[in-house]
Structure 1
Amino acid sequence: MIIVPEKEIAGLISAEECFEAVEAVFAAMARGEAWNFPVVREAIGHADALYGFKSGFDRAGLVLGLKSGGYWPGNMARGLTNHQSTVVLFDPDTGQARALVGGNLLTALRTAAASAVSIRHLARKDARVLGMVGAGHQSAFQLRAAVREREFEKVVGWNYHPEMLPRLAETAEELGLPFEAVSLEELGAQADVIVTITSSFEAQLKEAHIRPGTHLACMGTDTKGKQEVDPAILARARVFTDEVAQSVSIGEAQHAVAAGLIGAGDITQIGAVIAGLAPGRQSADEITLFDGTGVGLQDLAVAARAVEIARARGVAVEIDF
């Protein structure tokens, strides 16, 4: 058994390596070479926590495993990250446990990589203003990943708790970009690309906020009942996702589908765009929306890459199990 401790992850895997792993597994999904298994995600009735499992098998990359973890909203007061997770990888030839990998930082990195993949393949090439809705733990990762994909000249941000916006301002400054705290109306008026990364159960962005040509990466909705944007936005946009089944059941699309505004057939896997099996953006005025629900295969892909690098650098712990 190989163990890659959480403390080693930051020095092991780069944002670009995460991007490559996520992009490759999305394409494998679209080609029918990789599958996610049904998600289990439940409130446990203790500590207000959500806990679950995401798992899958990438036949192309020979990666099999699961991520176990969830969201503990009281952790910040304990000096811990609210999102807690661990990835377990198995040998697909024998079923033996192969690796145990700290999943907290990997979750933030793979989530940011997914939105960055959507920006690379769906946003307008001339996008210059990045809008950020949400200023929690994952927002800085999202911001750093997004600016790799377009020549942004400015970042505008909004958060329900405005006292948290300095996180975005500091990250933008680190990246050499000016930052402006704005209303949601002004954010929609300025932004060419909008990343939403909240834990909201009520739509923040309204249909009237969104201009033609905008690309939205909605990354916070991964549980039944969560919601970041007005369902009317999805009715107006071309909608893409990591996995259609999750999009309509636990993703942002759940609300538009329930309202009868769109159906599963109106949603395209982004892997199909990556693999050349479906078109991406088709005009400068088109609104595109990526519903990033977070699939288990993303976690497995980045964890497998982390294991490879850890072994090569001699920082993996190997034990008999």
Structure 2
Amino acid sequence: MSDTPTAPADAPVSVDAPISADTPASGGTAVSGDDTSLRILSTTDLAGIDISPADVVATVEDAYRTLHSGLSDNPRKLTVKPPDGHSVSYAMLGRDGSRDVVAIKTSYKHGLDKGRDAQHYYTSLTLYDDVTGLPVAMMDCSRIGSLRTPAVSALLARECAAPGARNALVIGTGTQGRLALPFLLTTLPELDRLMLYGTHPDGIAAVREQLRAHFPDRDVEIVTDLSAAASDADVIVATAGAHTPAAVEADWLKPGALSVLVGHGLAPSTLHRADRIIATSEAQMNVTGTDMADAHGELPPVDAEFPPVIAGDAVGRRSATERIFAYNSGLVVTDIALGHRFAQLALERGLGTEVPLWR
């Protein structure tokens, strides 16, 4: 699953307009200033920067290709969780070789034993220019994660969906569910039936709003029979929260179905009975995917990781009929790439606050 927990209901998710064509998807070092100050980019600063799904997908894809080429580093994340499971913390360090940027991401969520309104979630990304040695920026990472994750799901769908896929089902109406369809249509524009399984009226309305913002002529079909919808779907993206009653079983899936797990909504059988398993990172799947383990606490081995699939050095799908399970766990190099893109745009616009941190 994504290392980024579901963002608060009021987190900014708009991706309304594309960046100007002369803004590069990679490279172009953004430097904050000197070695005594750090530019802080707040949630509000980042919310004012518009970026299209196509631009996000291109940036994330470039990060995967650079990682596979050996130019980037993405070590295994560190995880801390108390015995009662009321909170979870992650720390991730990485280096983007095409941008020459080093970054540290932290993520902390408290109240996992409570409803969404009672939870607290904080995530940040700190970027350093590895050419000059100067800091770039420290930013709230919630919007970065909210955009990066559906972009990865869309790339997984592009590479692993069966030929001629037409029907897509999204499970969940939180931040990831709201953005899933615009990104899926960006990489699979031939999708013609868009289905949504959700239980929150406000979330359903937000899914429709986001879809129409990018694809005004498209609408989503609200489904209540999850088994029937899953049996019709060529692509399933499960983004629901931990307390969802939704759990698609392997027996419901049609031949050739692709199931992408982002949050919750898929039963462990979809993983253990899959014909092929793709993961963004097998090591991270073994850390964050333990809820999908079998009765013995085991996870099956991964057939291929996604970076070599993106680069064309591994096969995503081998036949039109195999059922594929794809595990979308965030890689910090994708956060770095997208965070650097936002930092460039923010600095061009003079956004953020300079803090004399090291004086």
Task: Provide the TM-score with structure 2 as the length reference.
Answer: 0.76
Aligned mates of 2:121, 2:182 — CA distance in 1: 19
Report the 3-state secondary structure (helix = DSSP H, G, I; strand = E; otherwise coil) of the residue aligned with 1:9: helix
User: Which residue of 2 is the match for residue 134 of structure 1?
Assistant: 172
User: Which residue of 2 is the match for residue 77 of structure 1?
Assistant: 117
Aligned mates of 1:310, 1:272 — CA distance in 2: 32
Cα deviation 1:256-286 (Å, max 9, x = unaligned)? 69665722xx331111011111122222212
Q: Evaluate the alpha carbon distance shift between residue 228 and residue 67 of structure 1 in structure 2; reply closer, same or farther with a 3 A threshold.
A: farther
Q: How far apart are residue 203 of structure 1 and its match?
A: 7.7
User: Which residue of 2 is the match for residue 113 of structure 1?
Assistant: 151
Q: Are the equivalent residues in 2 in contact too, given 1:248–1:257 (CA < 8 A)?
A: no
In structure 1, stretches of 5+ residues that fail to align are 222-226
Aligned mates of 1:147, 1:249 — CA distance in 2: 30
Query: Which is further off, 174-183 or 83-92?
Result: 174-183
Q: Evaluate the alpha carbon distance shift between residue 262 and residue 187 of structure 1 in structure 2; reply closer, same or farther with a 3 A threshold.
A: same
Identify the match of residue 199 of structure 1 among 241, 262, 275: 241
Q: How far apart are residue 76 of structure 1 and its match?
A: 5.1
Match for 2:42: what amino acid?
Answer: P
Aligned mates of 1:17, 1:63 — CA distance in 2: 19
Query: Which is further off, 62-71 or 248-257?
Result: 248-257
Match for 1:208: what amino acid?
Answer: D
Q: Are the equivalent residues in 2 in contact too, given 1:232–1:256 (CA < 8 A)?
A: no
Task: Provide the TM-score with structure 1 as the length reference.
Answer: 0.84
Q: Evaluate the alpha carbon distance shift between residue 100 and residue 70 of structure 1 in structure 2; reply closer, same or farther with a 3 A threshold.
A: same
Aligned mates of 1:177, 1:154 — CA distance in 2: 9
Figure out how many residues of one structure are paired with residues of the other and give that number.
312
User: Which residue of 2 is the match for residue 3 of structure 1?
Assistant: 40
Aligned mates of 2:297, 2:263 — CA distance in 1: 20
Query: Which is further off, 42-51 or 205-214?
Result: 42-51
Report which of the two has the higher share of strand: 1
Q: Evaluate the alpha carbon distance shift between residue 181 and residue 163 of structure 1 in structure 2; reply closer, same or farther with a 3 A threshold.
A: farther
Q: How far apart are residue 172 of structure 1 and its match?
A: 4.6
User: Which residue of 1 is the match for residue 198 of structure 2?
Assistant: 159
Q: Evaluate the alpha carbon distance shift between residue 47 and residue 208 of structure 1 in structure 2; reply closer, same or farther with a 3 A threshold.
A: closer
Q: Evaluate the alpha carbon distance shift between residue 102 and residue 153 of structure 1 in structure 2; reply closer, same or farther with a 3 A threshold.
A: same
Q: How far apart are residue 46 of structure 1 and its match?
A: 10
Aligned mates of 1:292, 1:57 — CA distance in 2: 20
Cα deviation 1:151-204 (Å, max 9, x = unaligned)? 222222223667854443454555422412232211211211110112337881
Match for 2:117: what amino acid?
Answer: A
Report the 3-state secondary structure (helix = DSSP H, G, I; strand = E; otherwise coil) of the residue aligned with 2:329: coil
Match for 2:45: what amino acid?
Answer: E
Cα deviation 1:108-134 (Å, max 9, x = unaligned)? 101111111111222134222210111
User: Which residue of 2 is the match for residue 91 of structure 1?
Assistant: 129
Aligned mates of 1:259, 1:93 — CA distance in 2: 45
Query: Which is further off, 148-157 or 39-48?
Result: 39-48
Identify the match of residue 286 of structure 2 among 228, 248, 264: 248
Cα deviation 1:59-115 (Å, max 9, x = unaligned)? 23312111112324469537xx85431111123357654310121111110111111
Aligned mates of 1:278, 1:320 — CA distance in 2: 47
Aligned mates of 1:251, 1:45 — CA distance in 2: 17
User: Which residue of 2 is the match for residue 220 of structure 1?
Assistant: 263
Does the alignment pair 1:29 with 2:67? yes
RMSD, aligned CA: 3.1
User: Which residue of 2 is the match for residue 273 of structure 1?
Assistant: 309
Aligned mates of 2:322, 2:295 — CA distance in 1: 20
Report the 3-state secondary structure (helix = DSSP H, G, I; strand = E; otherwise coil) of the residue aligned with 2:40: strand
Match for 1:279: what amino acid?
Answer: V
Query: Which is further off, 272-281 or 83-92?
Result: 83-92
Aligned mates of 1:24, 1:294 — CA distance in 2: 15
User: Which residue of 1 is the match for residue 232 of structure 2?
Assistant: 190
The share of aligned pairs that are identical, in percent, is: 22
Report the 3-state secondary structure (helix = DSSP H, G, I; strand = E; otherwise coil) of the residue aligned with 1:66: strand
